[in-house]
Each structure stands twice: as structure tokens, then as C-alpha cells.
Amino acid sequence: MDIFSAVILGIVEGITEFLPVSSTGHLMLMAELLKIPQSAFVKSFEIAIQLGAIGAVIFLYGKKLLTDKALFYSVIVGFLPTALIGFLLYPFIKSYLLGSISVVLASLFIGGIAMILFEYFYKKETRLHSENISIKHALLIGLFQSVAIIPGVSRAGATILGGLFLGISREAIVRFSFLLAIPTMVVATGYDLLREANNFSYENLIVLMVGFFTAFITALGAIQFFMRIIKTHSFISFGIYRVGIAITLFFFLYVWI
């Protein structure tokens, strides 16, 4: 992988990490389109640059998380299901799920349909804000998030739909989803780098740092954009996008070529 590819993937990561469209899925699809061969480093890169996007959340919301003990504990509890499932299934995820374009396309398509149907049929409204998310709610949201170990599902999408299902307001669950990403991606990236970093060359580390900082800068804008549009838009457009890109890339990758 070269610097140009790292910048492109960093931009893709920064834009998609907090949208319900699956950043991991988009990174894998973009790597496929850029003809980047799958390797242990590429898989680690796709995990690690997500921490760059999470850095934008820490920059914007880190103070709030550290000063609100109830919110801090809710985030930690919400992280536990993904930590446990991810740790137990790490070898399977790294070997069989990451790198599987078929899994990504299927997840994007099914997740998009689920998002559209959810928005169309589910009308529950509440006034729960992130400060009111209980430990029980946090644990249930964490279970929804754990589904996103499947590439293409979308961590943000799973947590947001899970929160809406539990009756949490849109703005509150989106903000909580941002915060929940912090321990999730810090631990996931740290664990992967501890296992793989000794195999990286100096050039690999340069490429990784370029992708990391590109994702950070891009994510700063993406977060602000997403927080604005959720106040006036449903997630149906994201569902339509997921279905559309899944179908388009299926034909492009498996039929037309």
C-alpha cells in the first residue's frame, strides 16, 4: 500500500465511521477497487485507522465523558459485550470475515433493508437523552453493537437502531454511539497492533500514520455534518444508499468484470 491509497482510505474512514453505512465495509470495498492486495498489514490498517476517526470524538466529546461519571460507566458497560465477543472470535474475524467482499455486500444489503423497514414501521418516540441512558440500556445497546463484528453491518447503524428500538431519542443515541466507539476502537486497535506490530516495516508505519491523521481530520467534519442532518432527516436515505451500493458493487465486481 502506498501513501496515496492511505490518504484515500483515511478519507473514506473519516466520512463513514459515524454514519450507519459501515466504515469497515467501505474500507474493504475501496481497497478492492484500488486493487490493494489483502494482507495481514492491510487488515490491521483497516482496523487501526478507525482509531484516527475515534480521535475526533475524543477531541469533541472527551471532556464530557470524563466529567460525567454516570455517562462514563454507561459507555464502559456498553462496550463489554463487544469486548467479550470480539476477544473470543478475533481469530475467526481476522481470518474469515475481514477481507470477504461477499460478506460485506450481503451485510450492506440486509442492513439497508432492515434500516428502511425499521424507519417505516417503528414509530416509538421518547425524550430520553444520553445523560438518562441507564446501565441496562447501555448493556442492551452494547449487544446490538456486537453484531457489527460482521464487516458491513455498521457499528454506528447497529447501535443507533438498537437505541431507537429502546426508545432513546435520535440525537441522544447518535451521541452515545460516538462515545461508545471510543473504548471499542481503542481496545480493538490496541489488541491488533500488539499482535501484529512487530511484523510491520518502517514504510508500513508511515502509511499507517498517514491514514490515521487523514481519518482524524476528515472525521471532525463528518461528525458535525451527521449531528446536523439527524435533526431533520430519518435514516431511510442511508438504508437506500446501503442497498444501492451493495447492488451496484455486486454487479461491478462479480458480473460486469
Pair 236, 120: CB distance under 8 Å = yes
Q: What are 79-127's pLDDT values in tens digits?
A: 999 888 878 887 777 776 776 888 889 999 999 999 999 888 876 555 5
Count CB atoms within 10 A of the CB of residue 196. 18
Number of structural domains found in the chain: 1
Q: What is the mean pLDDT of residues 69-76?
A: 90
pLDDT band at 205 (very low <50, low <70, confident <90, very high): confident
- Flag whether pLDDT at 1 surpasses 60: yes
Q: How far apart are CA 148 and CA 157, in angstroms?
A: 9
CA separation for the pair 170, 172 (Å, rounded): 5
Give 19's contacts (C-beta < 8 A, 6+ positions apart). 154, 156, 222, 226, 238
Q: Which of 68, 28, 59 is nearest to 245 (CA)?
A: 28
Percent of the chain with pLDDT over 90: 27
What is residue 254's predicted lDDT score, i.e. its pLDDT? Answer: 77
Provide the percentage of residues in the chain whose pLDDT is more than 70: 93
Q: Which domain holds residue 30?
A: 3-256
Phi, psi (deg, nearest 5) at residue 107 = -65, -40
DSSP state of 153: S
Distance CA 162, CA 202 (A): 41
128 strand-pairing partners? 168
More reliable by pLDDT, 253 or 72: 72
The pTM assigned to this predicted structure is 0.80
Q: How far apart are CA 47 and CA 9, in angstroms?
A: 11
